[in-house]
Amino acid sequence: MKRILLATGLSALVAAAFISTASACTNFIVTKGASADGSVMITYTCDGEFHPHLRLYPAQDYGPDEFFEIKNWGGEVLGKVKQVPHTYAALYLMNEHQLVIGETTFDGRKELQNPDGLLHYWWLMRLALWRARSAREAIGVMADLVEEYGYASTGESFSIADPEEAWIMEMIGPGPGGRGAIWVAVRVPDGYVSCHANMARIGEFPLDDGKNCLYSDNVIPFAIEKGYYDPGSEKPFSFRDAYCPPTPQTLRYTAARVWSIFRRCAPSREWLSDYHRGVRGAERYPLWIKPDRKLTLEDVFDIMRDHYEGTEYDMTKGVDAGPFGSPNRWRPMTWEIDGTEHSWERPISTQQTGFSYVSQSRAHLPDGIGGVLWYGVDDTYTTCYVPLYCGIDDVPRSFAEGSLQKFSWDSAWWVFNFVANYANLKYSYMIQDIQRVQSELEGELLELQPIIEKTALELHKEDPDLARRYLTDYSIGHAERVVQRWRELGEALITKYNDGYVKDEKGHPQEVGYPESWLREVQRARPEQYKLMRWGEDTLQAELPY
């Protein structure tokens, strides 16, 4: 019997996220030697207006004639991919061997998208997780798949990590009717961190270091053929220059996030903003850096909640933040006034995030315990990350159901989305209530982690299945507890912040008005409209207007 796997899980959410809206994601990579606990960590914010569904894919065995069909979002069969004898279990974007993959789309040269290719990047990610045990093996799987079946997406940057290594792989198509794909992959040196955000980041790369760099045979010849690179220029070949030439707008949108991650990881260094502001000839940001200190899991959470706070681009400041300092800017990102183009800042944390994760892959623990997806839905700033171990055999129901078309308290995404959206009414007030609960819950989960894992490890030595059941119950129970606490938070916010009033600790509504800084902006914009007349003490009664 032939087994058919339909487009579900990641592919279903991609239909909404990457077709109806512009792709926009952020990845941060922390190598084993750069983390405080020896974890290899990847972050992934999957940004778009969609409702994600958390999925678990069990390991399966297949016969020699089995395959699955690749379908488009209308259900049309586009092609078939031959199965392998065994596929590995995967919890969303991490498999049972602690292999984890993230991505950001850089588009690059859109003329190189190949409509004849079968596999979009999301299928490559899923197939690699099903078929590979390590990051290096995943790169090989993805390269072989596009060579055989063709690559259908625009330019893509992948973060690929296992308990020992972290890699960046960048891929772009060969254009209509072309074969395979053009790609390069480099290993991030241990002790360093890297990141990418919708722009190709790999510049020069070694051609003779197979341990740390892999690439397609056509990566340079194809660029020469297309006129993207002149070997007679005496300049070394750069993947990003050839396949993703920057513009002032793309730099503002992408490189600013790289700049902000690096400035937070290594504040001892001077991080100039010239490059992401589009200054011609400005120095590019490096592909990776050594952080000032080893990063904890909490550090990584915090970095993914960045709106450029503390810099001149701080999105909680200024008239555009409104009276209550909201960092959110509504789309579209760009606008034009009197023939001049403008753009909002694009932060790491954005209200358009569907889901995000911070992964941990740890070599000193058995796979089912060492691999963790700290998973959150909606905006990273107002979510609460919950630990989901890669060895679990079920997922929290509230993270696996719901629709963008209908609000439901049963959907974790809608619960977090509601709290985040309601906070915009009085952001500087409500965010304090949100962060108080967020800190309490995440703090408790982080504190429990070593205790839970110690118990799981002891169970694993006696009975791996019992350890799996223990971690499944823990992951599901605490995830649902967090969602319930967020429902209560939403109801509390509605009660406390109502009709512009703020209730005090006794439940009495208080008139809090607006911050003086914002009132001054109002006065500056309309200096006469809101001004009250003042009469002198010698005004005659006969002159009064009543």
> Which pLDDT score, from 0 to 100, does residue 19 have?
37
> Which pLDDT score, from 0 to 100, does residue 539 have?
56
> Which pLDDT score, from 0 to 100, does residue 5 have?
32
Which tens digits make up the pLDDT trace of 196-205? 999 999 999 9
Strand partners, 357: 44, 375
Q: What percent of the chain has pLDDT over 90?
A: 91
Average pLDDT in the chain: 93
Which tens digits make up the pLDDT trace of 123-181? 999 999 999 999 999 999 999 999 999 999 999 999 999 999 999 999 999 999 999 99
Per-residue pLDDT averaged across 96-119, rounded? 97
> Which pLDDT score, from 0 to 100, does residue 107 have?
94
CA-to-CA dists, residue 45 to 127, 135, 299, 313, 374, angstroms: 20, 20, 16, 21, 12
Chain position carrying tokens 């209509």: 176
> Which pLDDT score, from 0 to 100, does residue 6 have?
31
The span from the CA of 228 to the CA of 276, in Å, is: 23
Pairing of strands 340-343, 94-95: unpaired
> Which pLDDT score, from 0 to 100, does residue 537 have?
62
Q: Cα 367 to the chain's mean position, in Å?
A: 24
> Which pLDDT score, from 0 to 100, does residue 234 have?
87
> Which pLDDT score, from 0 to 100, does residue 533 have?
86
> Which pLDDT score, from 0 to 100, does residue 23 have?
63
Q: Measuring CA to CA, which residue among 130, 147, 208, 137 is closest to residue 169?
A: 137
Which helix (H) or strand (E) segment is 498 a member of?
strand 497-498
Q: Measuring CA to CA, which residue among 464, 482, 485 is closest to residue 474?
A: 482
Q: pTM of the prediction? A: 0.94
Question: Is the per-residue pLDDT at 30 higher than 60?
Answer: yes
Question: Is the per-residue pLDDT at 484 higher than 90?
Answer: yes
Question: Is the per-residue pLDDT at 394 higher than 80?
Answer: yes
Confidence of residue 1 (pLDDT cuts 50, 70, 90): very low
Per-residue pLDDT averaged across 473-487, rounded? 98
Question: Is the per-residue pLDDT at 13 higher than 80?
Answer: no
Neighbours of 495 (CB within 10 A): 10
Pairing of strands 166-172, 182-187: antiparallel
Which helix (H) or strand (E) segment is 289 a member of?
strand 288-289
Per-residue pLDDT averaged across 465-477, rounded? 98
Which tens digits make up the pLDDT trace of 34-58? 999 999 999 999 999 999 999 999 9
> Which pLDDT score, from 0 to 100, does residue 350 have?
97
Question: Is the per-residue pLDDT at 536 higher than 90?
Answer: no
Neighbours of 71 (CB within 10 A): 16
> Which pLDDT score, from 0 to 100, does residue 407 have?
97
Q: Where are the domains of the chain?
A: 10-306+347-353, 365-498
Q: Helices 464-496 and 412-422, interaxial angle, to 10°?
A: 30
Q: Cα 136 to the chain's mean position, in Å?
A: 22
Confidence of residue 543 (pLDDT cuts 50, 70, 90): low
Both tokens assigned to 195: 């990141």
Higher pLDDT, 537 or 337: 337
Per-residue pLDDT averaged across 496-517, rounded? 96
